[in-house]
A and B are shown apart, each in its own frame.
Chain A
Amino acid sequence: MTYINLTYGDLVLPALLVVVNGVISLVLHLKLERQLAWATARMTVQLLLVGYVLTFLFAAVSPLWTALAAFIMVLFASREIVVRQKRKLQGFWTYGLGAGCTLLASGTVTTFALLTQLRPEPWYHPRYALPLLGMILGNTMTGISLGVDVLTNGVVRERAAVEARLALGGTRYQALLPVIRDALRSGFMPTINGMAATGLVSLPGMMTGQILAGVEPIEAVKYQLLIMFLIAGGTGLGTLAAVVGGARLLTDHRHRLRLERIDGEPG
């Protein structure tokens, strides 16, 4: 197993490529240079910080610190979910739905993988738990935000159709079923497309990273397959929970549509 160590000095030359992008922006008046500089600085600081935090966590191997790090990751994910919504739910559920479903899906799938496949010692070892959670979280977050976005937009757009079904004696789930199906399809699609393209169009980042770190390609592939299966499971579970939960929040126990629970929508 060979691994080529990088020094900070080794990063200077590749960083010049970003400077080239900045020059292109200046020459062509794209007005992206400030954004580019800010994004580059942010990324560098964030990644370095994460590096030090992970170093600390890996040394500590503490269930408390690991759980705290996981909790913060879930909070950031739920914030991302809300930011991506065109129409936001009101009150606690603005963040509660995304955070709850992300935690449920990512937590369940990560714990499942740690306890049954990877079995590190201890099982919550942050070297395994946090990268695994991070990868599952990122994809689950995308599925959930797409699913909830399509659900809320669909219910507002299809209000007359949904209410027609309710008026004719349909239950809230019968009335919302077409919108729920659309929302689930949208949530699942990136994962399905990702799985279909993996290996042909792109080499996944984790697998590439392992290969660069000296792991045999076929071993890296096994890890990648495990991750893809976990991502598929997490995204499916999270999107289902968020879309069905969202449908429940947008109706009430008397099977009435409650669009006033979406920010800015009249009742």
Chain B
Amino acid sequence: MLAVNALRRLHITVSFELNDGECIALQGPSGVGKSQLLRALSDLDPNNGFIKLDGISREAMPAPAWRKLVTYVAAEPGWWGDTVQEHFATWDKAIPLVERLGLPPACGAWAIRRLSTGEKQRLGLVRALLLHSRVFLLDEPTSALDATSTAAVETIVAERVATGTSVIWSTHDGAQARRVGSRLFLMSSNGSIEEQAL
């Protein structure tokens, strides 16, 4: 369980609990701070407050170890190499997920600069899913995808949730929030979150 107590980042102050095998859908207008909240949970930006995973405080472990457990997946993932497979420790392990998301196994040799936004988004998600983190913080993970790819992403994430992984899924799509979330949080401009009925 991820327990968040008085987490503060810029104008945001939140407290909540995320149970194992639970997906919280996070909604709110653009610019309200959803990405900032997800990044703060993964400790990517300076923030204050108390966060524990299974009773262990994040300060008790090095930040890289924390991020392997509580992993932020950006809407527009970054790339540091020239080809797709340079971003994976073992490309072979990525192939099953890559295929399920509608990409060919040969895309490992593709140049990053030739990828479309949607391809980057799917490959960025695969790259994160291979970490087998306890918590995934998905920042609009299907914002650049068509209906088929969106459905594939939702299915894969639902399978992970069913096996105990926890997820916070930020989305502007109300219907998607109801499909993927077991709870719905609405974030307002004052930086607070309020639980809404699904």
Question: CA–CA, A163 to B72, complex, Å?
Answer: 10
Pairwise interchain contact A161-B64, C-beta atoms closer than 8 A: no
B31 touches A (CB below 8 Å)? no
Which residues of the partner chain B approach A258 to less than 8 Å between Cβ atoms?
A: 46
Which residues of the partner chain A approach B154 to less than 8 Å between Cβ atoms?
A: none
Pairwise interchain contact B42-A267, C-beta atoms closer than 8 A: no
Say yes or no: A162-B64 contact (C-beta < 8 A), given A167-B73, A168-B71, A256-B46.
no
Which residues of the partner chain B approach A178 to less than 8 Å between Cβ atoms?
A: 80
In the complex formed, the residue of A with least CB distance to B73 is: A167
A165 touches B (CB below 8 Å)? yes
Pairwise interchain contact A167-B71, C-beta atoms closer than 8 A: yes
Which residues 26-55 of B have a CB within 8 angstroms of A? 42-46
A171 touches B (CB below 8 Å)? yes
Question: CA–CA, A257 to B39, complex, Å?
Answer: 12
B103 touches A (CB below 8 Å)? no
A166 touches B (CB below 8 Å)? yes
In the complex formed, the residue of A with least CB distance to B77 is: A164
Question: CA–CA, A114 to B10, complex, Å?
Answer: 54
Contact of B67 among A158, A166, A252 (CB under 8 A): A166
Which residues of the partner chain A approach B62 to less than 8 Å between Cβ atoms?
A: 255
- Expressed in whole angstroms, the minimum distance between the Cβ of A27 and any Cβ of chain B is 50
Say yes or no: A256-B131 contact (C-beta < 8 A), given A164-B74, A164-B80, A178-B80.
no
Pairwise interchain contact A164-B71, C-beta atoms closer than 8 A: no
B128 touches A (CB below 8 Å)? yes
Which residues of the partner chain A approach B127 to less than 8 Å between Cβ atoms?
A: 168
**Count class of interface residues, chain B:** 20 to 34
- Expressed in whole angstroms, the minimum distance between the Cβ of A251 and any Cβ of chain B is 10
Which residues of the partner chain A approach B68 to less than 8 Å between Cβ atoms?
A: 168-169
Which residues of the partner chain B approach A257 to less than 8 Å between Cβ atoms?
A: 44
Pairwise interchain contact B79-A163, C-beta atoms closer than 8 A: no
Total interface residues in chain A, CB < 8 Å:
22
Question: CA–CA, A162 to B62, complex, Å?
Answer: 18
Question: CA–CA, A267 to B36, complex, Å?
Answer: 11
Question: CA–CA, A178 to B82, complex, Å?
Answer: 12
Question: CA–CA, A161 to B68, complex, Å?
Answer: 17
Say yes or no: A162-B78 contact (C-beta < 8 A), given A167-B42, A168-B67, A255-B63.
yes
A29 touches B (CB below 8 Å)? no
Contact of B80 among A165, A254, A267 (CB under 8 A): A165
Pairwise interchain contact A167-B64, C-beta atoms closer than 8 A: no
Pairwise interchain contact B43-A254, C-beta atoms closer than 8 A: yes
Which residues of the partner chain A approach B175 to less than 8 Å between Cβ atoms?
A: none
Which residues of the partner chain A approach B20 to less than 8 Å between Cβ atoms?
A: none
A160 touches B (CB below 8 Å)? yes
- Expressed in whole angstroms, the minimum distance between the Cβ of B70 and any Cβ of chain A is 10
Contact of A256 among B63, B65, B73 (CB under 8 A): B63
- Expressed in whole angstroms, the minimum distance between the Cβ of A7 and any Cβ of chain B is 62
Could you give, for residues 60-101 of chain A, a 1 whenever the CB lies within 8 Å of some chain B CB and a 0 otherwise?
A: 000000000000000000000000000000000000000000
Pairwise interchain contact A158-B80, C-beta atoms closer than 8 A: yes
Say yes or no: A170-B64 contact (C-beta < 8 A), given A256-B43, A256-B46.
yes
Query: 25 pairs across A/B with beta carbons < 8 Å?
Result: A158-B78, A158-B80, A161-B79, A162-B78, A164-B74, A164-B80, A165-B78, A165-B80, A166-B44, A166-B67, A167-B73, A168-B71, A169-B65, A169-B71, A170-B64, A171-B64, A252-B46, A254-B43, A254-B46, A254-B63, A255-B62, A255-B64, A256-B46, A267-B45, A267-B46
8 closest A-B pairs by beta carbon, nearest first, are A160-B78, A164-B78, A169-B68, A161-B80, A161-B78, A254-B63, A255-B63, A169-B64
List 8 other contacts, CB 8 Å, given A160-B77, A267-B46. A160-B79, A165-B78, A166-B44, A167-B44, A168-B68, A169-B64, A252-B46, A255-B64
